[in-house]
Amino acid sequence: MKVVWRPSVDSKVQGRQRTIHVFPIKSSILGSLIVTLAAVAGETGDQRSPGGVDELTTAIIAISIDDGEPRLIASRGVMVDGMLKFVGEHVDSTEGFTLVWNWTADLDPMGNASLDGEASILNETGARHLYDMQAEFNLDPVIMNASAIGGSVRVTLNMDADGGTLDVPAGTSVWSVMIDDDEAKRLHPGPFMMGGTGSGNAVADANFGAPYPGLVAPSIEDGFRIRHHCRVTSGDRAVFATTMLIGGDPSDFIRRRNVQRPVRVGDTSMERRVIQIGPASRGRTSSEPRRGGVRKSVGSAERGVQIKKTGKRIRTVVPPK
């Protein structure tokens, strides 16, 4: 499943008004913060962004059941203490599932971009179903040569009194991360199964790219996507906790142009180079390889990228024990 978003899409398609489906709006209160999230999708088969979506402060979530058409959800982030908070809940009474997400993100790779939080899917039907959820985040600045990624993932199955299983067949994985449209890492590859015979939790941990971020990955022209893909039995909940860092060589960072982005104090040093990121910049001929993993400078990904920035603390990831 591939979800492509472009914020410049007009609200009309071929001279007729697009059909926009607005799902029930949920509001969550985090202390004094009120987060309002509207789930918006285009007409069936339409995988373009609704007009007006801010690509740098909006996470695009796509979820499908049993390989059906994906349902698209726009989760607008709120800046809190210099970090973007993406919090929301989508209840689907027709398909019988509840999706909940709570992520904290820094989408600026200076000092390493980060994603920390979890998403969960509750199967409220009487049968086992296959769920495929993807969440897409855009970076600014982008990284025009090799990037580096690393982090840890915990998958938990909350089982009811009847027990249950979470599984994936061979050829896929429970968790993966894509850089733009290229898969960069899989964790818990199939055939994989976890579960139990009664009420309780089953847990599976994994990590990659230590020292973080230490796994060489491709250049990043837009952003990254995390994917959660598995079958879950009736009455059970799958929880996917992700902690991930993304870095690179600052000489390869290029600031986006003509897009809104959160304003950071002391960010003027990144304004020295500006390009337009759009359809023209994404084109690559079939003979032109994707850049990544070729040049190894002093701050190369293989040694773990540690980029200092005034006023911004360098974060590290500690994998679960």
The 10s digit of each residue's pLDDT in 10-39 is 222 232 222 223 333 333 323 222 233 433
Phi, psi of 252 (to 5 degrees): -100, 0
SS3 assignment, position 252: helix
SS3 assignment, position 271: helix
- The answer to whether residues 148 and 214 touch, using CB atoms and an 8 Å cutoff, is yes
Q: What angle do CA 219, 57, 92 make, to 5 degrees?
A: 105
Question: Which range among 44-48, 174-178, 272-276 has the greatest average pLDDT?
Answer: 174-178
b/e per residue 20-53 (b: at least 16 CB within 10 A): eeebeebeeeeeeeebebebbbbeeebbbbbeeb
Q: How far is CA 10 from CA 7, 54, 63, 308, in A?
A: 9, 14, 24, 40
Closest CA to 155 of 191, 121, 113, 104: 121
SS3 assignment, position 184: strand
Answering whether pTM is above 0.75, one says no
pLDDT digits (tens, 9 = 90+) for 66-119: 999 999 999 999 999 999 999 999 999 999 999 999 999 999 999 999 999 999
pLDDT at residue 311 is higher than 70: no
**pLDDT of res. 258:** 58
pLDDT at residue 231 is higher than 50: yes
**pLDDT of res. 285:** 40
Q: What angle do CA 28, 25, 92 make, to 5 degrees?
A: 105
Q: What is the mean pLDDT of residues 204-219?
A: 97
Phi, psi of 175 (to 5 degrees): -135, 140
pLDDT at residue 297 is higher than 60: no
pLDDT at residue 278 is higher than 70: no
SS3 assignment, position 222: coil
pLDDT digits (tens, 9 = 90+) for 234-255: 999 999 999 999 999 999 999 9
- The answer to whether residues 188 and 104 touch, using CB atoms and an 8 Å cutoff, is no
Q: What angle do CA 84, 242, 62 make, to 5 degrees?
A: 75
Q: How far apart are CA 256 and CA 223, in angstroms?
A: 12
- The answer to whether residues 184 and 229 touch, using CB atoms and an 8 Å cutoff, is no
**Residue 49 in tokens:** 């962004």
Q: How far apart are CA 307 and CA 315, in angstroms?
A: 10
Burial class (CB in 10 A: 0-12, 13-18, 19+), 160: middle
**Residue 286 in tokens:** 């079939």
- 284 or 201, which is more confident: 201
**pLDDT of res. 256:** 87
pLDDT at residue 230 is higher than 50: yes
**Residue 221 in tokens:** 């022209």
